[in-house]
Amino acid sequence: MRFTIRRAEIADAASIARVHVASWRSTYGGIVPQAYLDSLEETVFASRWQQWLGEQKVTTLVAGDDVAVFGFISGGLNREPDPSDVYDGELYAVYLLEEYQRSGIGRAMVQALAAILRDEGRKGMMVWLLEANSAAGFYRRLGAVDVASREIEIGGARLAEIALGWLDLRALL
């Protein structure tokens, strides 16, 4: 499959929102309360993404072809600084429409973000995800190791969240 990965632009906000909402619904069904998933609105997410992309505080990349955007990834500085200073970068979100998963696009997006973070001087990177999320296997296959865990609340439910990380971004490249 042919695709490109490029920096997101404000004009991509609606496409990113479409991927974001669809991916949450396909990934977190049976994990996150259904009422919460049903409440997600693309227009609300599009507005948020316009703001976030306009602020340019994080790196956001999109994956797509000549027709549409079907995935995105965002990351930057670790939002909860690691006292060891090893995991100074963070992968905030990576989502890919279900029909494009298991095609190498997710791996390519993670590698593209890792290269940018490395070029910005980051050493390592971590990602937080729900423990029940099957993507944990994806990250572990890319060499991530278990770093931490905590409990969070989504839609009124208490859920286990784990952090996985790469000590050296060069291992992803």
**Structure token digits, residue 10:** 């404000």
How large is the angle between the packed helices 42-55 and 13-28, nearest 10 degrees?
Answer: 120
- Asked whether the beta carbons of 19 and 8 are under 8 A apart, the reply is no
Residues β-bridged to residue 130: 161
Per-residue pLDDT of the chain (173 residues; tens, 9 = 90+): 799 999 999 999 999 999 999 999 999 999 999 999 999 999 999 999 999 999 989 999 999 999 999 999 999 999 986 667 789 999 999 999 999 999 999 999 999 999 999 999 999 999 999 999 999 999 999 999 999 999 999 999 999 999 999 999 999 99
pLDDT computed for residue 82 by the predictor: 67
Domain that holds residue 8: 4-172
Buried b (16+ CB within 10 A) or exposed e, 9-31: eeebbbbbbbbbbbbbeebbeee
Query: Domain of 14: which CATH number?
Result: 3.40.630.30
Neighbouring residues of 125: CB distance < 8 A, sequence distance ≥ 6 = 75, 78, 87, 89, 90, 91, 113, 114, 117, 165, 166, 169, 172
Q: How many domains does the chain have?
A: 1
pLDDT computed for residue 1 by the predictor: 79
Euclidean distance between CA atoms 163 and 91, whole angstroms: 10
Euclidean distance between CA atoms 94 and 16, whole angstroms: 11
